[in-house]
Structure 1
Amino acid sequence: MKTISAEELDKKFDDGEDISEYLDWSKARGPGQELTAVAFDLTVGELRVLDTEAKRLGVSRQDLLQLWIAERLSSVGQR
């Protein structure tokens, strides 16, 4: 990723130039997709099951929770 000043970036954008080489797309979020931290409690047994499943799938505990919650929310939204 290249680095330029904000003024230079604005000018390139305003002139219709491709500015994608100056952006870090891995951190881009659309409106309503900003991340926020959430805390909740699990029993030790639930945490063990969660960690076992995450390890089996080769993902982190957080990634598995995000996936499961997203799946559940999309199924609720389809009712």
Structure 2
Amino acid sequence: MKDQIDELTLLLLHLTSFTEDYGLGNAQRSWKGYPFESLNELTENDYIRGSKQSKSVYLTEKGIEQAKKLMKEYNIEEQ
């Protein structure tokens, strides 16, 4: 069950993300209002990055790719 929660957390982070220009390029960011256990697991898997003090995280390329795979798996279309 924990793996599914982590997958769905990543999927929600991706679906609710926004693009932010940080000066050197763009980053896909999302607010981190999800269980810390899942956020920690996603960080360990290098799907997301961000500091503990920040209220948002950014999705890595690996995280974006995995989220897109999950969208296909859960039959969700990107809008």
- Normalising TM by the smaller chain, what interval? 0.3 to 0.5
Of structures 1 and 2, the one with the larger relative CO (CA 8 A, separation 6+) is 2
- TM-score, with length taken from structure 2: 0.35
Give 1 or 2: higher helix fraction.
Answer: 1
